[in-house]
């Protein structure tokens, strides 16, 4: 087990400084399982994109074949006990320990399939469906690792994943466009007369800002889910929420002058946001959350 955790931690260090910082706040046992789950998610993403260890995709990379192989290995990890690569052994361990339905890991692979097929997103609902498959369901799995069984709290965990992904999409429009991917709703782009290959233009920046604003009620809903988590886990999730939301707020503050380049938070900013998140977690112990708004996109239920 320790070797799986170590290998997973090394993958996280390369993949997401924001996640790594938030994960350090978790109790050790929960952190180990969370890190192992995240490592499989990162590995799956890299395999589909052909970017093993951050390298550029190999020439002739067959994304469809990679997805098929990933699906087969994932099912083997969920139901088999033979030798397997560390990311799949990690997934199998976590999934069995926390009773994941197959539909959750497979939903993530379905999201990567959307990328492999070059799917486009006509409306915000389509974009949110994609966001569920690549991020919302990850939030659901992470919450289960933290001991959550309540469906409303799982919905709010999904909401956090949706908000994260909308923030990522808004931040990465230029990078995504460079590899032929467009996640912004096409009807928004058409209405604004915006093009993703014209970074820094007021029309495109207006669409980006609109998506950042759409993420706000999902962040608010996710904050309401803190009460359903153990205190230390609530602090970790509140920290991740604040760090990601801060990225979106930076984009909004830039306004029409946003240059389309990748936005991030500094180490000092992260430290301040993590400290503020402690108060969020503490407040969740006595402040009842408001009901989840019915208008929010809701994840599909798993039997």
Q: List the domain boundaries for the chain.
A: 1-99, 120-302
Q: Is the pLDDT of residue 57 over 50?
A: yes
- pLDDT at residue 267, rounded to an integer: 87
For residue 232, the surrounding DSSP H or E stretch is helix 231-254
Token pair listed for 33: 């399982």
Residue 52: pLDDT band by 50, 70, 90 thresholds?
low
Residue range 60-107, pLDDT digits in tens: 678 888 899 999 999 999 998 888 998 999 999 999 999 999 999 999
Domain 120-302 is of which CATH architecture? Orthogonal Bundle (1.10)
**What tokens does 224 get?**
């309401």
What is the pLDDT confidence band of residue 54, given thresholds at 50, 70 and 90? Answer: very low
Mean pLDDT taken over the chain: 89
Q: Which pair of structure tokens corresponds to residue 105? A: 């890991």
pLDDT of 223-252, one tens digit each? 999 999 999 999 999 999 999 999 999 999
Predicted model pTM: 0.92
Token pair for 21: 């910082």
Quickly tell me which residue has 């706040």 as its tokens: 25
Across 103-113, b (16+ Cβ under 10 Å) vs e yields ebbbbbbbbbb
Q: Tokens 């790594």 appear where? A: 20
Percent of the chain with pLDDT strictly greater than 70: 89
Residue at token pair 């990465």: 172
**pLDDT per residue as tens digits for the range 142-182:** 999 999 999 999 999 999 999 999 999 999 999 999 989 99
């Amino acid at each position: 087990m320790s070797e799986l955790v170590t290998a997973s931690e090394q993958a996280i260090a390369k993949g997401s400084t924001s996640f790594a910082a938030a994960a350090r706040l978790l109790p050790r046992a929960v952190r180990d399982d969370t890190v192992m789950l995240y490592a499989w998610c990162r590995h799956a993403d890299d395999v589909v994109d052909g970017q093993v260890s951050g390298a550029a995709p190999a020439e002739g990379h067959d994304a469809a074949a990679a997805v098929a192989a990933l699906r087969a290995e994932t099912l083997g990890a969920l139901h088999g006990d033979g030798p397997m690569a560390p990311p799949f052994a990690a997934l199998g361990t976590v999934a069995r320990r926390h009773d994941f339905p197959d539909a959750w890991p497979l939903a993530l692979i379905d999201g990567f399939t959307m990328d492999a097929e070059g799917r486009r997103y006509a409306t915000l609902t389509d974009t949110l469906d994609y966001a569920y498959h690549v991020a919302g369901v990850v939030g659901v799995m992470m919450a289960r690792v933290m001991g959550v069984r309540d469906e409303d709290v799982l919905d709010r965990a999904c909401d956090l994943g949706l908000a994260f992904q909308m923030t990522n999409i808004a931040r990465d429009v230029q990078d995504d466009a460079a590899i032929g991917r467009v996640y912004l709703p096409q009807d928004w782009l058409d209405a604004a007369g915006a093009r993703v290959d014209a970074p820094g233009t007021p029309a495109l920046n207006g669409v980006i800002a609109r998506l950042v604003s759409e993420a706000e009620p999902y962040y608010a809903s996710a904050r309401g889910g803190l009460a359903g988590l153990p205190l230390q886990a609530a602090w970790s999730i509140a920290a991740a929420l604040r760090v990601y939301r801060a990225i979106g707020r930076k984009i909004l503050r830039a306004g029409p002058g946003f240059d389309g380049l990748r936005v991030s938070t500094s180490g000092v900013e992260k430290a301040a946001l993590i400290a503020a998140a402690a108060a969020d977690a503490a407040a969740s112990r006595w402040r009842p959350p408001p009901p989840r708004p019915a208008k929010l996109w809701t994840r599909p239920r798993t039997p």
